[in-house]
Structure 1
């Protein structure tokens, strides 16, 4: 069986069996050299999925070839070969940065971790600047005793400078 070499799966076989019965296939992407070939392959994949018992989500699936698609949280422009950040993500990050900067510098460590997570998630679109320009925020996070601890980021000017960098430079 599928779980013979996995001790955890053997110990939780009821869960594994039910999880496999409720399998969700998410986030597929296909590329082809022509519209016609792409359309042909999309029809085949859709038919194969349906024949295998899967039910594609009509609201989420895009079966017609497109050169611009929002996928995995990014806007993919296949004409210009650019991976872009959707405006709603930018607005969400900027609102969180503004909230932190306007909070008299007294914030929960959890809020700093949240902004770092959102910034690191931008790496595919903006590159390693996300890691470079969150180092000092992470330094403040790492001194915490617990997640809901308040910290005065006014004591950490480099942390504030990184937040200001993102406020002033998003979108790139």
Structure 2
């Protein structure tokens, strides 16, 4: 999909009379690997950062001082990786930033403190190792339930236990309820059908136990929420 969109953008540019130059068109954003679930800073940016750090270290070795603009450039390159690396970019550029801010002007040379040199060495050695961030995984879903309902009955099962199937028929008083109520009830029946016997026999009091374990204000909030949900389910 990304490739298709990029080709369309390129085609629009060409049609408008703009001639893109491939060797000068570099992606400065973030590399996203949707197959393996992570994103990282492109290698060209990492290589440029390491090259800039080597240049500063070389200047400090021979001249004992470095052009302040070079240091500011490296700090900017490091901080620009925040999306992937996180707050570490601020923590490990603190002394470099102090050195930049204490310079007389943008055209002056500065001497780095030992702490600043250590931070430069840190990024040179470890930038490639910390240059990856995995997509956050939503672990709020513990079970997947497939269920369905009709005017006369319901059926369903939990993916983890496909050999166990819950099914039943609606009683006369339930047949007039909305389709939403029937769908939700089918999922509910599918789930409680596989509870341990000790919980299954006490399923009706689980809500009371939950409420009793909460503060009064929390119980009132839950109760109001349940009432709103019930009204929506019945009338949907």
TM-score of the two chains, using structure 1 as the length reference: 0.58
The question of 1:166 aligning with 2:123 is answered: yes
Alignment of 1:128-167 (within 5 A): 128-153=87-112, 156-167=113-124
Q: List aligned pairs for 1:1-172, cutoff 5 A.
A: 72-103=28-59, 104=61, 105-153=64-112, 156-172=113-129
With the length of structure 2 as denominator, give the TM-score of the two structures: 0.44
Q: The residue matched to 2:66 in structure 1 has which SS?
A: strand
1:24 paired residue number: none
Deviation at 1:76, TM superposition (A): 1.0
Displacement of 1:157 in angstroms is 0.7
Contact 2:67-2:108 at 8 Å conserved across structures: yes
Deviation at 1:79, TM superposition (A): 1.5
Deviation at 1:80, TM superposition (A): 2.0
Q: Deviation at 1:120? A: 0.5
Quote the Cα distance in structure 2 between the aligned partners of 1:59 and 1:110. 29
CA distance, structure 2, for counterparts of residue 123 and residue 55 of structure 1: 36
Shift of the alpha carbon at 1:73?
Answer: 2.2
The verdict on how the C-alpha distance between 1:71 and 1:98 changes in structure 2, with shifts beyond 3 A counting, is closer
> Tell me, what secondary structure is at the counterpart of 1:80?
coil
1:86 CA displacement: 1.6
Max radius of gyration: which structure?
2
Deviation digits for residues 19-54 of structure 1 (CA, Å, limit 9, x no counterpart): xxxxxxxxxxx78xxxxxxx7xx5xxx59x96xx97
- Displacement of 1:55: 7.6
Q: List per-residue Cα deviations over 1:139-170 (Å, max 9, x = no partner).
A: 000101100100111xx111111001011112
Task: Assess if the C-alpha contact under 8 Å between 2:68 and 2:106 holds in 1.
Answer: yes
Q: CA–CA distance in 2 between the matches of 1:58 and 1:96? A: 27
Deviation at residue 88 of structure 1 after TM alignment:
1.4
For 1:68-90, what per-residue CA distance to the aligned partner results, in whole angstroms no more than 9, with x for missing partners?
xx955221111222111222111
What RMSD over aligned residues (CA atoms) do the two structures have, in Å?
3.0
- State the Cα deviation string for residues 74-109 of structure 1 (Å, max 9, x = none): 211112221112221111111111111111231011
